[in-house]
Amino acid sequence: MSLSVKEKTVVNWVLRALKLLICIFVVVASISSRLFAVVKFESIIHEFDPWFNFRATKLLTETSFYNFLNWFDSRTWYPLGRVTGGTLYPGLMTTASLIWNILHKIGIPIDIRNVCVLFAPIFSSLTAWATYKLASDIKDTRTGLLAAAFIAIVPGYISRSVAGSYDNEAIAITLLMLTFMFWIKSIKTGSILHTIGASLCYFYMVSAWGGYVFITNLIPFHVFCLLLMGRYSNQIYVSYTTWFVLGTVASMQIPFVGFLPIRSNDHMSALGIFGLLQIVAFGNFIKKSYSQNNNNSNSNGNLKKVMVFSFLAVCILGILLLILATYLGLIAPWTGRFYSLWDTNYAKIHIPIIASVSEHQPVAWPAFFFDTHFLIWLFPVGVTLLFSELKNEHVFIIVYSVLCSYFAGVMVRLMLTLTPVICIASSVALSQLFDTYLNFYDLFKFWQNGSSSRQNSTNKDTKLNFFKFLSKLIVSGSFIFYLYIFVYHCTWVTQNAYSSPSVVLPSQTPDGKMALIDDFREAYYWLRMNTDEDSKVAAWWDYGYQIGGMADRTTLVDNNTWNNTHIALVGKAMASNEDRAYEIFNELDVDYVLVVFGGLLGFGGDDLNKFLWMIRISEGIWPDEVNERSFFSTTGEYRVDSSATQVMKDSIMYKMSYHNFPYLYGENSGGVDHVRQQLIKPEDVGDLKRFHEVFTSENWMIRIYKLNERDNEGRDSEFSVFKNKSVANDNNSNVEGVDGSRRRRRRRRQQYSLLDASELRI
């Protein structure tokens, strides 16, 4: 049966309309599912790093781009300050501020906060489009549409791109896919236009995320594999050399990157492949001209030997040069994060600060399923299918999936770079399956020939094979069912796991209504409103960005973690006794000390649970003064109750966390720490003599203390007007009222135990 021209046009139009409709749906799905965070909570910047990005973007909208690049921030890392403009990736902020400016120009004076909040959802729709194009190049448009739909709603990507998650990754994944999309196109066509696209996207990626090194290594690796497979072609030569030269020169324009592309080991593979490619090209040229002149098979064999030998020699020479240059200090060695990629124990031993970050931990197995659902088992199928055809672009996907599977296994955050390739490979597998099993052409044909075939039952072509039909129905039906479950799972995960801003904790009132535990903002806002503008706040580095963004006060350390010693100093103060801590804080000009205490609510991510890391980090610098062992009880446990060691009880972290806490439940009964499930008695918690409480949030999650001021003669707290009050003798305590609120809080508690206290026992 053949279609007329007119019918063909109609079919084409229908197909195009369908494709457009699906694309629109994908875009709508990708944006709307990320808006759960706004609908459930509010338009707010999430977590920690986004607060810095937001602060920087706000600054960029208020000043010029060059001022922004020259930004020296004296309000962080006090008293050192930070050359912020030169040590950040400006891509994200520049893009957001550009969008903001354009919107203002066209008469939409939207608030910069809303631009930042909605940034990730908008860019995720772009990612879906780039994935569509990329996957279409891998197989066909059907695969592309499936891949776009997958990437639009897959939790592994949503986890870092919900509304409010204004982090570098929000734009970086989009750029990653765009770069790869252009790279595949240029490998296929050898078009310089596409390669320039790839280089520009790569440059944009460099300006936006430190993870650009992944592209810097993946593309050369792809080319290397193609060379090893003997697939050298002029397209590869044109693509790679153009990309490398343009991309490298462009990337060096970013101040934070600077000369790294020619000085750092992370970038050497790209340079090596560039050199190798020249040699291969030259060899190929000689081979071509040689074989044109000589058709002798013997000389061809010799040539091959020469080629292989020189290839090996160049490789070995290159590696030797690399080692020599590193040894001589011409090239910077690999960074700590890089080493921890290969040796998972490296960070724990050498750089505790990297190991202390939860997103640098290895992935738990269930997380793969949680983040990608049924795609995780379709993924290897897709990769296997690609092997059967093994075109150049297929090699790329294979290389990408192998490398990233390993990386994702080492670090949780790299799950993000694995997710796109999972989507692409799975869509290859699924579309292959649907090509076969969702093809009900026979059935239509049967119906069309209905009456005539029944009259002539011997005609095999028009006879419907019932079992073939049934098997198609079962296979396609079950996969459509999987798709349905997948969508359901993604929505559920997005709604319940990835939409919480983590600045605000969701909770329920006794009558089932949603309530927010808003202690962080309560305390930060108190700081902002009621302390001097140039007050210095000492807190663990996790809260640095938030204090800078929300409380707008000077911090000692923040999430940038560029100076390990400074962090260790704060850790040391927290682990020291009151006198020593007072001395350290005074030297650092500190006015307020902020600690996070989850004991009342059962919030597991509090400072006492992070305390061991503070001790370890400061022990790394001052092993004589801080000793991890002295914080463990005689049985080797991390205790906070009566059996805690004296060193533990004397540390200001302990005192500040539990100050007044045991009296909350009555005079002498003591209070149960709901995170560590231990009873804290009044006699365990020593009085504070050199600090006094100035604020504690509603659920006691944030506690702020002020250093007692020295008097005119330089004498400190002993003579200070601020004396610590002992409430033990206060007969007015309204125990009943306090107990009532305790019961309510217990009900809330379970949801927030982010870290099981038992993990801390050794």
Partner 1 sequence: MLLTKQSLTVFVLLLVQLIGTFAQGILPSGWENIKLTRELDLQHTFTVESFQLTIKNIADKPLKQYFIPIPKQLRDQLSTITASLSKNTDALLNCYVSDTLNTLEDGTVLSYGVVELPTPLQPGKEIDIVARIFYNIAGIPYPSKIKIGEVQQLYFSTNRLPLSPYSTLEGRLLVKTKSDVKEDNKPEDQFLQGTFNDDTNTLEFGPWYDIKPYTVSNVDLIYKHVPALKEVINLQRDIWVAHWASTIQFEEYYELTNKGVGLTDGFSRLEFMKRSQLAQFGMIPWIHILEMSLPEQATEHFCTDKVGMVSTTDVVGDTFYIKPRFPIFGGWFYNFTIGWTNPLNQFLQRYENDDETFLLTVPILNGPQDTVYDNVNVTIYLPEGAELLDAGSPVSYKSISTAHEHSYFDMKEGHVKLTFEFKNLFTDIGKADLLVKYRYSKAALYKKPLSIAAYFFSALMGFFVIRSLNLSINN
Point out which residues bind partner 1 (CB under 8 A). 41-44, 106-109, 503-504, 515-516, 518, 521-522, 524-526, 528-530, 550, 660, 663-664, 692-698, 700, 706, 722-723, 725, 727, 730, 732-734, 737-738, 741
Residue indicated by tokens 């061809």: 300
Nearer to partner 1 among residue 119 and residue 214 (C-beta):
119
Helix, strand, or coil here: 374?
A: coil
Least distance between partner 1 and beta carbon 182 (Å): 17
Closer residue to partner 1 in complex, CB, 378/504: 504
Q: Annotate 256-302 with DSSP letters as a single string.
A: TTTTHHHHBGGGHHHHHHHHHHHHHHHHHHHHHHHHHH---HHHHHH
CA-closest candidate to residue 543, choices 582, 595, 584: 595
Number of helices and strands in the chain (H, E): 33, 9
Tell the residue number behind the tokens 């799905």, with chain if given.
Answer: 29
Task: Tell me how far, at minimum, the Cβ of 695 lies from partner 1, in Å.
Answer: 5
3-state SS assignment for residue 474: helix
Report, in Å, the least distance between residue 536 CB and partner 1.
18
Nearer to partner 1, 359 or 709 (CB): 709
Residue with Cβ nearer partner 1 (109 or 329)? 109
Nearer to partner 1, 258 or 506 (CB): 506
- Asked whether the beta carbons of 661 and 685 are under 8 A apart, the reply is yes
In angstroms, give the least distance from the CB of 518 to partner 1: 6
- Judged by beta carbon, residue 44 or residue 325, the one nearer partner 1 is 44
Query: Cβ 516 to partner 1, closest distance in Å?
Result: 5
Asked if 208 and 91 touch (Cβ cutoff 8 Å), the reply is yes
What whole-number distance in Å separates Cα of residue 146 and Cα of residue 40?
29
Of 77, 621, 615, 617, the C-alpha closest to 353 is: 617
Least CB distance from residue 685 to partner 1, whole Å? 12
Provide, rounded to whole angstroms, the least separation between the CB of residue 522 and partner 1.
4
Residue 133 contacts residue 181 (beta carbons within 8 Å): yes
H or E element: which one contains 389? helix 375-389
Query: Are the CB atoms for 184 and 393 separated by under 8 Å?
Result: yes
Say if residues 426 and 256 touch (Cβ distance below 8 Å).
Answer: no
Q: To the nearest whole angstrom, how small is the minimum distance from the Cβ of residue 537 to partner 1?
A: 15
Q: Which is it for the CA torsion 106, 111, 115, 118, positive or negative?
A: negative
Least Å from the CB of residue 530 to partner 1: 5
Cβ distance to partner 1 smaller for residue 400 or 700: 700
CA–CA separation, 430 vs 148, rounded Å? 13
C-alpha 170 chain-centroid distance? 9
Cβ-based neighbour number of residue 187 at 10 Å: 29
Cβ-based nearer residue to partner 1, 150 or 166? 166
User: Whose Cβ is closer to partner 1: residue 519's or residue 619's?
Assistant: 519
